[in-house]
Amino acid sequence: NSCVLVVPRARFLPVKTTDDLFAVQSDLFTVKHGSLRLSEKRTISPPVPTVKLGPNFRTVEEYSKRLPFGVPDLLELEHLTVSGDVHFRNHVVLKGTVIIVAEQGQHIDICSGSVIRDKVITGNLNILPH
C-alpha cells in the first residue's frame, strides 16, 4: 500500500548536507507564502551556486561555530570551495569563484565587511577590513 507524493520544488528544497544548508540560509532564497523562492536579486547563472564545504563544516555544531553571524551574501557567487579551519564574520560578500583553503593546523578568519571576488585564499591569515 504505497503511494507517491509529488511536492513541487517551489515548496521544498532538499537540504541533505551543510553545503545545501549554506545556500538555503543565504540571501539567495526568500520565503513567500510558505514557499522557498530564489531571490529576484539573483541575476546570474547558475540559479544556485556550487557550494563545497570541507569536513570542518560537516556537523551542524561545527558549521554554526564557523558562521556565528550567518551565511555570507551569495547573490553574485558562482562557485565556493572552503576547506579547513575557516571562520566567516558578519557582512561578508562572496562573488564569482572563491576558494578558501586553510592548511592542516592553520586558520583563516574572514573579517566583517570583507568582499571577496574570484580569489583563491590559502594559508594562515586574517582578512582585514580596508
Rounded Cα distance, 56 and 109, in Å: 14
Q: Which residues pair with 121 in a beta bridge?
A: 100
Which of 57, 56, 46 minimizes the C-alpha distance to 21? Answer: 57
Cβ–Cβ < 8 Å for 52, 19: yes
Is 95 a residue of the active site? no
Q: Which of 16, 32, 52, 65 is catalytic?
A: 16
Q: Which residue has the cell 517551489?
A: 10
Q: Which residues are catalytic?
A: 16
